[in-house]
Amino acid sequence: MKSGDITLPLHGGKAPQWLMQRMIRLSRSIFYLLTCEFGKEEVLRRLSDPIWFQSLGCLLGFDWHSSGVTTTVTYAIKEGLKVYADELGIFVAGGKGRHSVLVPEEVKESAQKKGFDPDKIIYASKLSAKVDSVLLQDGYNLYHHVIVYTSDGMWCVIQQGMNEALRLARRYHWISENVRSFVCEPHAGIISDRKEKSVIDITARSASNSRDVILEIVKNPPDQTVKLYEKALSYKLPLRHYILVKDMRPENLKKILLKTYENPPANFELLTATRGLGPMSMRALALIADVIYGAKPSYNDPVVYSFAHGGKDGYPYFVRRDVYDRSIQVLERAIRNAKLGYKEEMDALRRLSNLFLF
């Protein structure tokens, strides 16, 4: 199964209330049954697959390819799972805009109820967001961040960035079981409809030398590193550097270098986690590593749906509310009866799935 990113056109508006309420109920039943049948780990694996997630948006009756799939579907999942969160041990934190910064307190609240350590989940949330904005600079600014996690410490991140000039959004998927390193190809796979030309990717495996050199650079006296930066800027740069911010001032870089000089990070992940280290400082350090020391980051962009109930915009047809409600009723009844010990309907659903196996 692949996780990664997918590019989506920006669409305005929002899901109508009649559809949103149905999306919440249907997603609640889907994820309850998925968990009962396949376990919590499989639920996270499926959410980490951008194509499966996109298909889920189609199943729930939302637009098949718009940026709103991310925000609307994750909201439906979050609201739907609230009812079964304690029973299933699956929790959802974050959301769009200001809701994304509420992750730490939401995680702590669930951790207090279930008695697990929230720090690992909070760290994964913060660092995954920082990696996709500081180490992978592809022109898409993050504005949506959700982390789905279990009481066992597994997690999956779904976050989205926006390129306002292109009016496109790009979604990034992470899953804990595939993250061997937060700073070296943390996505299990990459899926995208559009490759950008102006990209710095310091997470690429081929950029390991760049990461090593940058880590050594930040341990030097700040004035020495600033001089290297000024020297690099004085060279005639190759075209691949046209995405660098022209008016970045050395004094801005010096602020973060004072931190790293006084408390040298032991590895590149800890450097990335340094408070205050942003995209422009990382660009400057990547420039020094490349132009002065010849340690290049990657400048390459690391980047089929099915329908069940139609879509709110009429593609491929408008949502049939009666069919949608019937689907909800079938799943909810199967869950109720299964809890009472009657497994006939669950068995019927399993047999139905076998008809579509290839």
15-53 confidence digits (pLDDT tens): 788 888 998 999 999 999 999 888 999 999 999 988 788
pLDDT at 121: 98
Residue 313 has pLDDT above 50, yes or no: yes
What's the first-to-final CA gap in the chain, in angstroms?
16
Q: What are phi and psi of 137, to 5 degrees?
A: -110, 95
151-181 pLDDT, tens per residue?
999 999 999 998 888 888 888 999 999 899 9
Distance CA 229, CA 285 (A): 8
- Provide DSSP, 131-189: IIIIIEESS-EEEEEEEEEETTS-EEEEEEEEETTTTEEEEEEEEGGG-S-TTS--SS-
Residue 62 has pLDDT above 70, yes or no: no
pLDDT at 355: 43
Distance CA 183, CA 175 (A): 14
- CB within 8 Å of 281: residues ≥ 6 apart: 252, 253, 256
Strand partners, 160: 144, 171
Mean pLDDT of 315-338: 68
Min mean pLDDT across 156-165, 210-219, 244-253, 259-268 is at: 244-253
Q: What are the tokens at 115?
A: 């008695």
Pairing mode, if any, of strands 141-150 and 155-163?
A: antiparallel
What Rg do the C-alpha atoms of the chain give, in angstroms?
23
113-159 pLDDT, tens per residue?
999 999 999 999 999 999 999 999 998 999 999 999 999 999 999 99
pLDDT at 47: 93
Select from 225, 176, 139, 161 the least CA-distant residue to 48.
Answer: 176
Residue 284 has pLDDT above 70, yes or no: yes
Residue 338 has pLDDT above 80, yes or no: no
